[in-house]
């Protein structure tokens, strides 16, 4: 058996929400290099167009679709457009997310809480529910990958709504996995930690960078390429006996304990 071919996504169609964000762009590159056809969804259409030009200028394997995951009609239209063009959906990567305000508990607002949960949790639930219904109707043994974070397990100051929403996404993954296993649709969760983007590099090399790096057992952020193996594992048939799993790719950050004030 050719074990490496298990990780291939040739002739597979993947939908990525939040595709124009920093993490989303990196996941898109990995899926494209693995041979997938892609539909990239985001609220930022201008950034989607730039991503399309950088990934597949011909548009032969990549389509873009403006979509707000908190809007049910947007999700249904995304599915309709994907079906019209590619005739199937094999993989959903639920990457749409917002961080919310950098505020202590007593300074959080109900509006900020609602916005974070609407996008991170409700949006993931709604996209996964409608797309899995489509998979069932088309008899597709699909894969759904929800995106969490180290903060789905770890406590951190000034991140109550975000961390709570990501913990909820992880439990959503487990419950959806139970519901969908009868249809041979697998639901797993990828939980990255710090990723080496310009913003993160500025933090880790900034005035408090030493403290942040000390909180990561591996002492550094991940390179985007280090997400390739975990993502392709969950997106491909290589993980055929995995469902309801949270796969952490964070250099040990989530298991390093509760962050205390200085």
User: What CATH code is carried by the domain that includes residue 90?
Assistant: 3.40.50.720
C-alpha to C-alpha distance for 246 and 145, rounded to whole angstroms = 10
At 111, list the tokens. 């509006």
Residues near 13 by Cβ (< 8 Å), separated by ≥ 6?
36, 37, 38, 39, 82, 86, 87, 88, 89, 90, 91
DSSP secondary structure of 129-195: HHHHHHHHHTT---EEEEE--GGGTS--TT-HHHHHHHHHHHHHHHHHHHHHGGGT-EEEEEEE--B
Look at residue 221 and tell me if it is in a domain: no
State the pLDDT at residue 19. 97
Number of domains observed in the structure of the chain: 1
Residues near 100 by Cβ (< 8 Å), separated by ≥ 6?
112, 113, 115, 116, 159, 161, 162
State the pLDDT at residue 208. 87
Q: Is 236 left (phi over 0), alpha (psi -120 to 50) or beta?
A: beta
C-alpha to C-alpha distance for 39 and 52, rounded to whole angstroms = 10
pTM of the predicted protein model: 0.95
Q: Where are the beta strands (DSSP E) in the chain?
A: 13-17, 37-42, 62-66, 91-94, 143-147, 186-192, 246-249
State the pLDDT at residue 236. 98
Residues near 181 by Cβ (< 8 Å), separated by ≥ 6?
243
Look at residue 253 and tell me if it is in a domain: no
Look at residue 205 and tell me if it is in a domain: no
Look at residue 114 and tell me if it is in a domain: yes
State the pLDDT at residue 259. 56
Q: For the chain (length 262 residues), average pLDDT per consecutive 10?
A: 88 97 95 98 97 96 98 98 98 96 94 97 98 98 97 91 97 98 98 85 85 89 95 98 98 76 54
Reply yes or no on whether 162 is catalytic: yes
State the pLDDT at residue 3. 84
State the pLDDT at residue 257. 63
Closest by CA to 93, choosing from 226, 196, 189, is 189
State the pLDDT at residue 255. 86
Structural contact between residues 34 and 4, judged by C-beta atoms closer than 8 angstroms: no
Considering Cα of 83, then 22, then 94, then 145, what sign does the dihedral take? Answer: positive
Which domain covers residue 139, as residue numbers? 3-195+228-248
Structural contact between residues 153 and 254, judged by C-beta atoms closer than 8 angstroms: yes
Look at residue 222 and tell me if it is in a domain: no
Q: Which residue has the tokens 């995951």?
A: 69
Catalytic residue (choose from 162, 241, 253, 255) = 162
State the pLDDT at residue 261. 55
């Amino acid at each position: 058996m050719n074990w490496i071919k298990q990780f291939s996504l040739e002739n597979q169609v993947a939908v990525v929400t939040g595709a124009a964000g920093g993490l989303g762009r990196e996941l898109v590159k990995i899926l494209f290099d693995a041979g997938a056809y892609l539909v990239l969804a985001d609220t930022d259409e201008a950034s989607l167009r730039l991503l399309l030009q950088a990934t597949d200028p011909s548009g032969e394997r990549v389509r873009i679709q403006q979509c707000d995951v908190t809007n049910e009609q947007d999700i249904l239209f995304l599915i309709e457009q994907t079906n019209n063009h590619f005739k199937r959906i094999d993989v959903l990567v639920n990457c749409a997310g917002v961080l919310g305000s950098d505020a202590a508990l007593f300074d959080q607002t109900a509006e900020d809480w609602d916005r974070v949960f609407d996008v991170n949790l409700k949006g993931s639930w709604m996209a996964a529910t409608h797309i899995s219904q489509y998979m069932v109707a088309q008899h597709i043994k699909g894969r759904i990958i929800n995106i969490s974070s180290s903060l789905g397990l770890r406590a951190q100051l000034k991140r109550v709504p975000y961390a709570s929403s990501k913990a909820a996404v992880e439990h959503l993954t487990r419950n959806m996995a139970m519901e969908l296993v009868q249809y041979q649709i697998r639901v797993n969760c990828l939980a990255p930690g710090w990723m080496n983007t310009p913003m993160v590099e500025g933090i880790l090399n900034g005035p408090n960078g030493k403290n942040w790096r000390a909180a990561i057992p591996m002492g550094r952020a991940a390179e985007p390429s280090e997400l390739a193996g975990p993502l392709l594992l969950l997106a491909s048939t290589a993980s055929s006996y995995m469902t309801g799993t949270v796969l952490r790719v964070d250099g040990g950050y989530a298991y390093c304990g509760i962050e205390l004030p200085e």
